[in-house]
Amino acid sequence: MPEKKSALFLDRDGVLNVRKFQGYIQSVSEFTFLPRVKQALKLLQPRFDYLFIVTNQQGVAKGLMTRKDVEQIHAYMLQSLSDHGIHIQAVYVAYDLAEAQPNARKPNPTMGQWALRDFPDIDFLSSLMVGDTASDMRFGRALQMKCAWIRSGPPFDEQVSSELYDWQGESLFQLAQESPHILPNI
């Protein structure tokens, strides 16, 4: 039986890059990494076997941007991270409208199931979901992962029920620095 591996699942907007609160990141020119995200990922990367990004992008289904636009944003993001020695194994994107059925969007566990299909040795019990919304936390919980809630702050100051997360803080860098009990041992 193959050895099970840990994974770090990361939401995109509000965790890795500045969230556009009244819309969608529609082009590379609108994509800006949050402060110290690359440093945080350099600290976190050695603690996990895999790094994944899971992101809801219903702006495509709404006709505000194309899949190609999203792919260009992700190509830029991945290249920028790679230039800093950070390797993301895969980016999973749910393009569905929130009300679509069936629906791959978080909180549904579909993107996690896609990751497991592609990387069958993932052990969700030793994995971590980092996000800034209740749906991110519910996604992680549905897959039995530990969950870290990044509080994006106003105007996106959503209240997330404490049973949905194992750690909360202001940034990915804070999570990486504090090395809380929810991170795997190295």
Domains (range + CATH), the chain: 9-154+164-178 (3.40.50.1000)
Q: Give the residue numbers annotated as catalytic, written as ranges.
A: 11, 13
Query: What's the pLDDT score for residue 157?
Result: 55
List the beta strands (DSSP E) in 5-121.
7-10, 50-56, 90-94
Query: What's the pLDDT score for residue 159?
Result: 75
Positions in the chain whose pLDDT score sits under 70: 1-2, 153-158, 185-186
Query: What's the pLDDT score for residue 183?
Result: 81
Query: What's the pLDDT score for residue 180?
Result: 80
Query: What's the pLDDT score for residue 156?
Result: 54
Query: What's the pLDDT score for residue 28?
Result: 96
Angle between helices 37-44 and 67-82 (to 10 degrees): 70
> Distance (Å, rounded) from C-alpha 132 to C-alpha 186?
26
pLDDT digits (tens, 9 = 90+) for 168-178: 999 999 999 98
Closest C-alpha among 127, 133, 185 to residue 159 = 133
